[in-house]
Amino acid sequence: MKIYFAGSIRGGRELQPIYQEIITGMKKAGHEILSEHIGSIDVNMFGEGKLSDKSIYERDILWISDCDIVIADVSTPSLGVGYEIAYALHVEHKPVLCIYNNNNLSAMIKGNNNPSIKIDLYETAEKALEIISNFIADQP
């Protein structure tokens, strides 16, 4: 399955090690992660720092269009991640899984009753991978 993984970059990188564990686990399960750089300790290693904002936007929109599902870690507030979730749901009509590991979840995410979005709390990367595996298994 092609997966677009969304996580905070400019909003804060505190969860980067968790992103990396989640992405590594999804890849081990045989999935293609289009936005693998989100888990990297240095997102610039993937050329992120050399791209213009417009190029990043165009690339990410193409990846969202091309993916089967979107998985977004929404633990750290991020305008970009929120935009990607809304775009995936309302423009591309993609299934979206929002995972979070704290009590700071946005009301705009928590209150969304769109049947294409699932929201779940995780405590560890292993639990996040279990949630993701169940979400993928539920897809047609």
pLDDT at 109 over 70: yes
Average pLDDT on 45-49 reads 61
For the whole model, what pTM was predicted? 0.93
pLDDT at 27 over 70: yes
pLDDT at 68 over 90: yes
Average pLDDT on 92-120 reads 94
Range of the domain at 83: 2-137
Q: What is the CATH number of the domain that holds 129?
A: 3.40.50.450
Domains held by the chain: number = 1
Q: Is 105 helix (H, G, I), strand (E, B) or coil?
A: coil
Question: At residue 136, what is the residue type?
Answer: I
| Mean pLDDT across the chain | 93
